[in-house]
Each structure stands twice: as C-alpha cells, then as structure tokens.
Amino acid sequence: MEYLLTTNSLTKQYGRHKAVNAVNIHIRQGDIYGLIGRNGAGKTTILKMISGLAAPTEGDFSLFGKTGKDAYEYMSRIGTLIEAPGIYPNMSAAENLKLKCLAVGVRKKGTIEELLKTVGLENVEKKKVKKFSLGMKQRLGIALALVGDPDLVILDEPINGLDPQGIAEVRETLQKLNKEKNITFIISSHILEELSKMATNYGIIHNGILLQEMTREELLAKCSERIELKTDDTRKACTVLEDMGIEKYKVVDADTIQIFERLNDGGDITMRLAENGVKTMGITVKNEALEDYYLNLTGGIVNV
Ligand code: ATP
C-alpha cells in the first residue's frame, strides 16, 4: 500500500527518557490523521521529528516514499503549525501572511487574499492579531501553514482552548481543504471526542508508545452500543444467533461475541442458548463513549 508518510521505529530519547519509543505510524494521502494522547505522551515530539524540527535518536521516516536524507528533500511540501506558530500580534493577518510568503519565496499574486478566504478571515484584513479571538488566531496559524501549497499539513493541538464555535470553524476549514484540495492532515489532540468529528484515522499514543492505529469506522465500532456475550461454546452460540435471525455480530475472542442489534433481547438470547445446550457465562449491554474507550486504553483520568 502506498503511504504518504510512515515512521519506522521512530524514537526520541532525552537523557534516559524515551519521549517517543519505536513508533510506526502509517498515513495515506487524503487522510485526516488524528494523533491522540495525553499531555506529555509524545505527540509534539513526533510531529517535530516528521517535520524536520527535531532529529530522531533512532529510527526514521518515509515521506512520499523516500527515506532518510531523501525524505528531507520533501520538507517543502509540508506545512506546520507546531507550538508557538510565529504570529506577530501587532500585525494584521494579511501582514503576517505576507511575511511568511516572503520567507518561503511565494510571490503568486492573490495568494494572501485566497488564504484569508480559505480560513474565513477575509473580513478582518486590517484588524491586528492581538485583537483576534483564539479561534481566529488558530485559523491564521492554519493559513500560515498553508503558504506554499503543501500536500501535508501538520497541526499540533489546533483545537486546544477553543470554544465549541471555534472548534466547529477549525473543523469546517480542515474538512474543506481536505476535500477540495486533497490536503492530508495530521492533527494532534488530547481530546478524542473533538478529534472524532474530523479525523478519518487515528493513532493513539501513550507514554511515547503507539498503542493503536485505527480507522474512524473501527473506532466507532469499538464504541458503539452492543451486547457483549460470553459463552462456553462460541461456535454453537453463533449458529443459535443466526437461527434467531441475528446477523450483526462479531466473534472477538475465544469466548466473547459482540452483538450489534436487538440490544433489548438479552433474555431471549440467553434462553435460546440454554435450550441449545450453550452456557451463558456473561451478557451485558455496553455503550462505551469515545472518551471512555480512550481512558480505558490509556488507564485513568486525562490530565488536561
Ligand atoms: P503536550 O500536549 O503537553 O505538548 P505531548 O504529547 O506533545 O504533550 P511532548 O511535548 O512530545 O508531549 O513531550 C513528551 C515527553 O518528552 C514529555 O515527558 C516531555 O517532558 C519530554 N520532552 C519534550 N521535549 C523535551 C526536551 N527538549 N528535553 C527533555 N525532555 C523533553
């Protein structure tokens, strides 16, 4: 499979501490990849390494199919918004963009106007950035990351501290760019619920280790309402379920079946299983919210 970006045992060690520990992520063109993890999990360090702002201590990454030194040649196709995005508060959004265009050698006429329009800041051309709301500043940060028409845009916590309105604005901007310009995004966040409304793929990082990668569909399936059934004979239990007309089920391990329909029919299911000689060891309805799923995976309370 063709990936736009992969990391290969990417590691960053500070002293004895591995901030990022042998991480392998896989990002395809057109993905909105959500890198999710608590504060200090290692997200920024990963993003810095793949955008050339920090050197790995071990491992490497491939960008557009190129690895090592060759990958660094493609850095100009990446736009970033990582930590303090270099915004000058006494200047307007247009002036900030002009500076960035000059710095990276973009001279095309109309670029600034187009970028302002893309992020919905076309009507605040004269206003100084210090008078912007946080959401407006984040959108300017995104516009700055878009200078030079990058194929891949890396945004570190672009929704951090935003109110619901600000989050919705950033989400709409990213989805539009993703759809209309086929820009691939990597967005980090410590709040899965917020990422879940925009990301197509996820990487869950904890203590520097990538715990899981999954698609949006896989994540939603894990969090959707279901009956969790434990029996002493999974194979026979499946036959009984099918006889009952139940089709939406999945065998998850040697004794567990997840059923995604007829959630109120637990009693009937147990009875039919018993009639067919299958012993029910446990039957519960589960409805794990996204955040619960993430907390279970990483263990404990999110420290914000
Ligand atoms: P946050 O959302 O708080 O930025 P994060 O997931 O982005 O969290 P990182 O900033 O990547 O996490 O930090 C990962 C770990 O590496 C933390 O324990 C941090 O203290 C440590 N770390 C980061 N940069 C350095 C550095 N320059 N020197 C030493 N340790 C560092």
259: helix, strand or coil: strand
Q: Between 266-275 and 234-243, two packed helices, what is the crossing angle to 10 degrees?
A: 110
CA of residue 29 to ligand 1 center, whole Å = 27
Q: Which domains does the chain have, with CATH numbers?
A: 5-215 (3.40.50.300), 226-286 (3.30.70.100)
Examine the pLDDT at 301 and tell me if it is beyond 70.
no
Confidence of residue 59 (pLDDT cuts 50, 70, 90): very high
Given the CA of residue 83, which atom of ligand 1 is nearest to it? 4
CA of residue 206 to ligand 1 center, whole Å = 12
Question: Which two three-digit tokens encode residue 94?
Answer: 């247009």
Instruction: Round to whole Å and give the CA distance between 95 and 129.
Output: 10
Question: Which two three-digit tokens encode residue 276?
Answer: 């067919």
Strands (E), the chain: 5-14, 17-23, 26-27, 32-36, 58-63, 66-67, 78-81, 152-155, 184-189, 201-206, 209-215, 226-231, 249-253, 256-259, 280-286
CB 203 within 8 A of CB 33: yes
Distance of alpha carbon 44 from the chain centroid = 13
CA of residue 253 to ligand 1 center, whole Å = 36
Which protein residue has the closest C-alpha to ligand 1 atom 18? 40
Condensed to tens digits (0 to 9), the pLDDT of residues 214-248 reads 998 888 877 778 899 999 999 999 999 999 999 99
Examine the pLDDT at 300 and tell me if it is beyond 70.
no
Query: To test the ligand 1 pocket, which listed residue (21, 43, 207) has its Cβ within 8 A of the most ligand atoms?
Result: 43
102-106, 217-221, 260-264, 277-281 — most confident range:
277-281
Condensed to tens digits (0 to 9), the pLDDT of residues 194-211 reads 788 889 999 999 999 999
Which protein residue has the closest C-alpha to ligand 1 atom 3? 39
pLDDT of 231: 96
CA of residue 205 to ligand 1 center, whole Å = 13
CA of residue 98 to ligand 1 center, whole Å = 31
Strands (E), 104-247: 152-155, 184-189, 201-206, 209-215, 226-231
Question: Ligand 1 pocket by C-beta < 6 Å: which residues?
Answer: 14, 19, 37, 39-45, 190
Return mean pLDDT, the chain.
89
Phi, psi (deg, nearest 5) at residue 47: -60, -40
Given the CA of residue 15, which atom of ligand 1 is nearest to it? 29
What predicted TM-score, i.e. pTM, was given to this entire model? 0.80
Confidence of residue 304 (pLDDT cuts 50, 70, 90): very low
